[in-house]
Structure 1
Amino acid sequence: MGSVATTLKTIATAGALGAGGAAVWGIGIERYLFTVREHDLAVLPPGSASITVLHLSDAHMAPWQRRKQRWIAELAEDVQPDLVINTGDNLGHERGLDGIRVAFAPLRSVPGFFVHGSNDEYAPSGRNPIRYFTGPSRHAKSAPKLDTDAMDDFFSADLGWADLDNAAATVRLDGIRIDGFGVNDAHRDWDDLGALPAALEALGARDEATLAVGVTHAPYRRVLDSFVDLGADVIFGGHTHGGQVRVPFSSRALVANCDIPLDQARGLSSWGPDAVPLNVSAGLGHSIYAPVRFGCRPEASVLTLRARTR
């Protein structure tokens, strides 16, 4: 009996130490291990010059997160993007815009598209993390309203990015016309997919030198399916945090907080019968009420868009 009790005590102690070590790693170390995830896509018309896209998502910025602000700011020089795509949830605090201004200012004059996540409009609230295993999270009954208008003004007027919340817009890069279209946060049912056909029609007919880009915060199936039907050549999403806590080295998230397949909750995959490239960013941050990353480093994505061979 004594040896059994000793064995059980040893197992319990090892389990407690393991859990404690994982918590120290996830809270104190990994959430600061910012990384760049790189992909190459052959989606441009033959003969086109390559385009470097910087995909940013889910900064959930708080004003004291200076390490994250510095790392994002340095991307402008390190990556030298031709186009920025921001898939929302930039703010994580009522004064989060202070940090976003510092982080994104070096990207001024780089063309970009952006959409909203719910944390661009309402401050975060504490959640029971266990509930994420039962399905997409419910919305807080009340939360402080954020200064979304000031954020949008910074993105549009100062940085020069186009707002794609249930809208469409065009930028031109080296002879390539890029038609971006997107929706507001589908997780909050703010998406208006019915508005997109008219918005795209207003941009004019596409030709062979047009790249169509779909942009969403939450990559719900209905949104991805609609983007494919609207002719997207590549789709960008965020929201999932890549699961935020994953089994190390697993290709499948534990949760996604939407209905996307769990093996597509982070990174580059494809969607629909035509295998449209889909990049879902694991994001740069986390809620201030869940300051942890485990097996899922915070990230920015860099996609090099290259010419098709035919």
Structure 2
Amino acid sequence: MDDIKKLTGAAAVITVAGAAAFAYGSLIEPRRFEVREETVAALPPGSKSLRVLHVSDIHLVPGQQAKIDWLKSLVALEPDLVINTGDNLSHPQAVGPLLDALAPLMRFPGVFVPGSNDYYAPSMRNPLSYFTSPSKVKHEPKALPWPEMFNAFGKAGWVDLTNRNQSQVYGRLRLDFSGVDDPHLGRDVFAGFPLGSSTGSGAPNVRIGVAHAPYQRVLDSFTDADADIIFAGHTHGGQICIPGYGALVTNCDLPTWRARGLTVWENNGKTVPLNVSAGIGASRFAPIRIACRPEAVLVTLTAKSAAT
């Protein structure tokens, strides 16, 4: 009888703890937005610093006013450039609220690539499958109004880097971008980096790789092409993490210890800084975060030393 009472008591404690963790992960942590700040020496010697605001995985649903208000507040950071690495939507009616949320930031120069949840609405599935293998689209999902979003970004001056490259001028520095369509959908085609004009090949420049999902093949392509820094999202930082340990999954072939933050990617003897954002939201069917606060990232790119 005593053993039964002990087991019953333990089960009750586990149930209460699980309920508390679920409540925290669904009601509290998803609203604990933060700005992570990083500094990376990636620019040519003598260059003026460049402040890059990296936003990713907003997964907006109409009515998420706290998220919308926080996104609007990011304008106070006054970045020189905004990089959006996709998965902006999580609902067919979210484009209007998304554009409202991002309107203050769209006054700054920006570039973007799409994620799968820009093209397609998320669907319900077994949540345990997320921990066994990267999720894949197994049937034709419901299309989202991504052309409306793309057009609005373009009208604001943000550059679409979907399987393409483009250069922009920042002061005396040339920003050479290369982006890919969502690798998670297998749509990525690396276009290389811009070559510059015939008279500007020697101008100071920085090569910036942009992708939604940081699959190793994509990171390798950017690295082999002498990228100076890479920006990606998709992982949600693991989304449900173990305190003191970190992410259990990345939903791609990226090692879990790289699920969030600034690391260095290496391939064929070359290295490049890699910034993976933990993202701002999550699928509306799994709006839970534990030990993984939602984030935007302010990356200050500074000049390399002359000896680098």
**Is this a same-fold pair by TM over 0.5?**
yes
Equivalence for 1:308: 304
TM-score normalised by length of structure 1: 0.94
SS at the partner of 1:290?
coil
Equivalence for 2:87: 89
SS at the partner of 1:270?
strand
Range with greater deviation from structure 2 (271-280 or 229-238): 271-280
Return closer, same or farther for 1:222/1:228 CA change in 2, 3 Å cut-off: same
Distance in 1, matches of 2:203 and 2:263, equals 24
Structure 2 gap ranges (5+): none
SS at the partner of 1:29?
helix
Equivalence for 1:30: 29
Over the matched positions of the two proteins, sequence identity in percent amounts to 45
Equivalence for 1:58: 57
Equivalence for 2:260: 266
Equivalence for 1:175: 172
Distance in 2, matches of 1:139 and 1:307, equals 42
Of 237, 242, 258 in structure 1, the residue corresponding to residue 237 of structure 2 is 242
Q: Structure 1 residue 246: deviation in Å?
A: 0.4
Equivalence for 2:148: 150
Q: Structure 1 residue 206: deviation in Å?
A: 4.4
Distance in 1, matches of 2:91 and 2:46, equals 45
Return closer, same or farther for 1:203/1:278 CA change in 2, 3 Å cut-off: farther
SS at the partner of 2:37?
strand
Of 98, 101, 104 in structure 1, the residue corresponding to residue 102 of structure 2 is 104
Equivalence for 1:275: 271
Equivalence for 1:253: 247
TM-score normalised by length of structure 2: 0.95
User: 1:125–1:140: 8 Å Cα contact kept in structure 2?
Assistant: no
SS at the partner of 1:108?
helix
User: 2:57–2:233: 8 Å Cα contact kept in structure 1?
Assistant: yes
Distance in 2, matches of 1:201 and 1:174, equals 19
SS at the partner of 1:19?
helix
Return closer, same or farther for 1:225/1:11 CA change in 2, 3 Å cut-off: same
Equivalence for 2:287: 291
- Report how many aligned residue pairs link the two structures: 303
Return closer, same or farther for 1:257/1:146 CA change in 2, 3 Å cut-off: same
Q: Structure 1 residue 255: deviation in Å?
A: 0.9
Whichever residue aligns with residue 239 of structure 2, its letter is Q
Whichever residue aligns with residue 224 of structure 2, its letter is D
SS at the partner of 2:249?
coil
Q: Structure 1 residue 57: deviation in Å?
A: 0.3
Alignment of 1:183-198 (within 5 A): 183-193=180-190, 196-197=191-192
Distance in 2, matches of 1:237 and 1:175, equals 26
| 1:121 and 2:116 aligned | no
Equivalence for 1:68: 67
1:114-139 Cα distance to aligned partner (Å, 9 max, x none): 00101111111112121122211120
Return closer, same or farther for 1:65/1:203 CA change in 2, 3 Å cut-off: farther
Equivalence for 1:220: 215
SS at the partner of 2:62?
coil
Distance in 1, matches of 2:184 and 2:88, equals 15
Distance in 2, matches of 1:137 and 1:225, equals 22
Q: Structure 1 residue 232: deviation in Å?
A: 0.6
1:82-139 Cα distance to aligned partner (Å, 9 max, x none): 0010000011100111121111100123111100101111111112121122211120
Structure 1 gap ranges (5+): none
Equivalence for 1:229: 224
User: 2:41–2:301: 8 Å Cα contact kept in structure 1?
Assistant: yes
SS at the partner of 1:70?
helix
Structure with more helix by fraction:
1
Q: Structure 1 residue 256: deviation in Å?
A: 0.7
User: 1:111–1:171: 8 Å Cα contact kept in structure 2?
Assistant: no
- Quote the RMSD (CA, aligned, Å): 1.5
User: 2:114–2:181: 8 Å Cα contact kept in structure 1?
Assistant: yes
Whichever residue aligns with residue 94 of structure 1, its letter is P
1:229-262 Cα distance to aligned partner (Å, 9 max, x none): 1111000001111111000232x31111100011
User: 1:249–1:295: 8 Å Cα contact kept in structure 2?
Assistant: no
User: 1:66–1:99: 8 Å Cα contact kept in structure 2?
Assistant: no
SS at the partner of 1:100?
helix
Distance in 2, matches of 1:202 and 1:51, equals 20
